[in-house]
Amino acid sequence: MLLSCILLFCACNEESKPAETEFDKHSFTKEGEIYIVNTEKDTLKHLEVEVAKTAQEQATGLMYRRMMKENRGMIFVYSTERPRYFYMKNTFIPLDLIYVNAENKIVEFNENATPLSEETLPNNIPSQYVLEVNGGKVSEWGLQLNDSLIMHLEE
């Protein structure tokens, strides 16, 4: 009985640390800035972005995030230009995917991708970059094919 009381007392006095969640492991880290400009070179949007360069970063993307601030996104950077295929497995927020060619021109969109869907989001036009932003932003910002990205990314 005395041992039980001592253990209970010790357990109550320990500092309790909140459990780390998948969200905590994947919180936003600014790794660059992107300006989206139209064909007249007017800035349509300025974003802070995370950069997915490695295979692991690209496989994880925005999975497990429960929210993303309006002026943030994630840019996937590839070494070659080709069609890209994404899905929304373990992704809790709707996203717009913006496909960008090697000349930094927008070539295709997937808008309002359904959270948690494992359905493949096809991209038919070769792209070297894919920018993920909150769902509905492509339309809200008035983005068009042939608009461009000006990217300032950390190495």
* Secondary-structure percent of the chain, ordered helix, strand, coil, rounded to 5: 15, 35, 45
Domains of the chain, with CATH numbers?
23-153 (2.60.120.1140)
Write out pLDDT tens, residues 65-99: 999 999 999 999 999 999 999 999 999 999 999 99
CA–CA distances in Å: residue 55 to residues 51, 76, 111: 12, 10, 24
Write out pLDDT tens, residues 18-66: 443 444 456 889 999 999 999 999 999 999 999 999 999 999 999 999 9
Beta bridge partners of 96: 133
Strands 95-100 and 148-153: unpaired
Whether the model clears a pTM of 0.85, i.e. scores above it, the answer is no
